[in-house]
Amino acid sequence: SQKIEQNSEALNIQEGKTATLTCNYTNYSPAYLQWYRQDPGRGPVFLLLIRENEKEKRKERLKVTFDTTLKQSLFHITASQPADSATYLCALPLTGTASKLTFGTGTRLQVTL
């Protein structure tokens, strides 16, 4: 069956370090993958979209990689700040190019001073 796995344990890092979050998927061949941020009691906020023909995408302090052979995406936040503390969700289309998304369970990131 199709499955998306994100590390369910919280990731605790020190301010200024690089946070790296992992999203692994099985039995999918998605045309793209998205990352969202979610704060408690709020809806997810879109961060980055990467397509299957792109190896890497950057936006300010954020970087996403997409390895379709390993079936894995890595999400990096460089020079992390306490304000980056949130839950980060990866999402893939249920079938190839479909609009409807399947989300992972998310990884909670805690950045401390």
Contact residues for another protein, defined by CB under 8 A: 4, 8, 31-32, 34, 36, 41-46, 49, 51, 89, 91, 93-94, 96-97, 99-106
CB of 32 to another protein, least distance (A): 4
**What separation in angstroms does the CA of 38 have from each of 50, 51, 52, 64, 83?**
19, 22, 24, 17, 12
Nearer Cβ to another protein (15/39): 39
- Token readout for 110 is 């805690």
Q: How far is the CB of 78 from another protein (least distance, A)?
A: 22
Confirm if 74 and 65 have CB atoms less than 8 A apart.
yes
